Amino acid sequence: MNEHSTSQSPAPAVAKFMDLVEQRKARIGILGLGYVGIPLALRFHEVGYPVLGFDIDDQRIADLNAGESPIKHIPSKDIAAMAAGGFEATSDFSRIGEVEAIIICVPTPLSRHREPDLSYIVETMKAITPHLRAGQMLSLESTTWPGTTEEVLRPFIDGRGFTIGDDFFLVYSPEREDPGNPNFSTHSIPKVVGGSTAACRQVGERLYSVAVDKIVPVSSTQAAELTKLLENIHRAVNIGLVNEMKIIADKMDIDIFEVIDAAKTKPFGFTAYYPGPGLGGHCIPIDPFYLTWKAKEYGVSTHFIELAGEINRDMPQWVVAKIADALNDRQKSLKGSRILALGIAYKRDVDDMRESPSVLVMELLRDRGAIVEYSDPNVPIFPRMREHKFELSSIDPTPEVLESYDAAILLTDHSDFDYATILKHSNLVVDTRGKYREEHPNVIKA
């Protein structure tokens, strides 16, 4: 838990760290160069700090050092400018001693049994612990259960003989990223910071304040960890609610998108959430189950959270049933039908495939005998995934191509799609995103 310092002046290590930050001499080490780590590296570089990036993917390291972006919505020119300005990516974790601030941004997925998988965090700590030195700050940004920073990370640091809050600083500051959203960036999204001690929090606040416009301090690392889970659980539960409302509205022959548009005109007490084919991304489908797992330690069953998760997980099956019914109404069997999936990234205008419900829809269709292919301007080749496999490349949805399929199913509403052409030349459009609002004989809303 949080320990409050009683000294009137900062400890020498605190003062030294603050001075290095003030002079822009504090080198920032970012572990995990993905959708969180790269924007963070860009921002620290932008405000004048030297950055050393760490990753285990040799191809990603080579791309970044060559000034090439591995992520669609991050321009290569920004990576090139950072590389030319002194940024370096490496897989040599022994170099962790070269940095003052260590920021961990590695994945925290779920296991096959839907339990927290902290293996990336643990392996990262094993790799860097022998090379830690006095005076460093370590901040975990990966989403996890309350207590991870103190129960999992702290023992590594204590084992080196450091005194946390005196000669080493431990912080939890959850990542907040919305890939592809031009309205928010790393510097404009408020940053929650919790420390193992008051001095740790002070150090964390100072470091992040040079890169982020607003800092939100909380009393402990546990409070910061739970803050992140609450944010994502709030979204997951409300998406589960609106997905269930979509099914109800469909049974009543009511357009759920019309209902949402009407409801959101209320200037208070309502926030619009939109249904889809399921739930995707690296946070929303996963993070609620971190709290569900941890709550069991306290004898608490998270009924509400688990119900929302169940609804969201079932949406791909509901979508496939709608496709089968639509084909059946046209005297076609799902088995043997040619179906084009439009959009397989988890959200609009990104190339991120993690937990994408589109893949589950494609698998369910394939399992039922459909011939499934896809079109996604952001995913030219179906990527290697831990639990899913398709040997496919993206197909250009030209009029001739669209006419050759029995159905096109809109799963991710990318801006680059020509929706007028899709509507005009598809034999059947199954719309899971509410893109086609007008009634049309060849459009089925799912």
pLDDT band at 386 (very low <50, low <70, confident <90, very high): confident
- What is the 8-class DSSP label of residue 379? -
Lateral strand order in the sheet of 371-375: 371-375, 338-342, 407-410, 429-431, 443-445
Measured CA to CA, the distance from residue 322 to residue 304 in angstroms comes to: 27
pLDDT (mean) for 406-412: 98
Decide: 386 and 371 in contact? Cβ < 8 Å: no
- The structure tokens 């709290």 sit at 291
Which tokens is 17 given?
A: 């760290």
Question: Is it the case that residue 414 has pLDDT exceeding 90?
Answer: yes
Burial (Cβ within 10 Å: 0-12, 13-18, ≥19) of residue 363: middle
Q: Residue 22, by phi and psi: left (phi above 0), alpha (psi -120 to 50) or beta?
A: alpha
pLDDT (mean) for 131-144: 97
Q: Residue 180, by phi and psi: left (phi above 0), alpha (psi -120 to 50) or beta?
A: left
Backbone φ and ψ for 445, nearest 5 degrees, come out as: -90, 125
Structural element, H or E, at residue 359? helix 357-367
Question: Is it the case that residue 4 has pLDDT exceeding 70?
Answer: no
- What is the DSSP track for 98-148? G-SEEEE-----B-TTS-B--HHHHHHHHHHGGG--TT-EEEE-S---TTH
- What is the 8-class DSSP label of residue 180? T
Measured CA to CA, the distance from residue 321 to residue 335 in angstroms comes to: 13
Measured CA to CA, the distance from residue 41 to residue 376 in angstroms comes to: 28
Backbone φ and ψ for 339, nearest 5 degrees, come out as: -125, 130
- The structure tokens 């290569």 sit at 76
Instruction: Tell me which CATH code domain 12-219 carries.
Output: 3.40.50.720
312: amino acid identity, one letter: N
With both helix axes pointing from N to C terminus, report the angle between 303-329 and 357-367 in degrees, rounded to the nearest 10. Answer: 50
Measured CA to CA, the distance from residue 32 to residue 122 in angstroms comes to: 13
| Neighbouring-strand partners of residue 407 | 339
For the chain, the residue count is 446
Decide: 103 and 28 in contact? Cβ < 8 Å: yes
* End-to-end alpha carbon distance in the chain: 48
Least confident of 100-114, 221-235, 429-443: 100-114
- What is the 8-class DSSP label of residue 26? P
Residue 8 is predicted with a pLDDT of 55
Least confident of 87-96, 211-220, 301-310, 382-391: 382-391
pLDDT (mean) for 15-42: 96
pLDDT band at 180 (very low <50, low <70, confident <90, very high): confident
Portions of the chain given CATH number 3.40.50.720: 12-219, 241-445
Decide: 126 and 31 in contact? Cβ < 8 Å: no
Distances (CA, A) of 341 to 29, 54, 409: 40, 36, 5
Strand runs labelled E in 10-113: 28-31, 51-54, 88-90, 101-104
Residue 9 is predicted with a pLDDT of 63
Neighbours of 302 (CB within 10 A): 18
Known active-site residue 105: no
Backbone φ and ψ for 240, nearest 5 degrees, come out as: -60, -40
Q: What is the mean pLDDT of the chain?
A: 93
- Give me the catalytic one of 283, 361, 379, 402: 283
Distances (CA, A) of 227 to 76, 240, 287, 411, 412: 33, 20, 11, 30, 29
Question: pLDDT tens digits, residue range 273-289?
Answer: 999 998 876 667 787 88
Residue 113 is predicted with a pLDDT of 76
Neighbours of 183 (CB within 10 A): 6
Helix (H, G, I), strand (E, B) or coil at 270: coil
pLDDT band at 73 (very low <50, low <70, confident <90, very high): confident
Question: Is it the case that residue 6 has pLDDT exceeding 70?
Answer: no
- What is the 8-class DSSP label of residue 97? G
Backbone φ and ψ for 292, nearest 5 degrees, come out as: -55, -45
- pTM equals 0.90
Measured CA to CA, the distance from residue 343 to residue 417 in angstroms comes to: 9
Measured CA to CA, the distance from residue 217 to residue 204 in angstroms comes to: 9
Which CATH fold would you assign to the domain 241-445? Rossmann fold (3.40.50)
Question: Is it the case that residue 306 has pLDDT exceeding 70?
Answer: yes
Question: Is it the case that residue 260 has pLDDT exceeding 90?
Answer: yes
Residue 181 is predicted with a pLDDT of 80
Question: Is it the case that residue 165 has pLDDT exceeding 60?
Answer: yes
- What is the 8-class DSSP label of residue 9? S
Question: Is it the case that residue 104 has pLDDT exceeding 50?
Answer: yes
Least confident of 139-148, 351-360, 385-394: 385-394
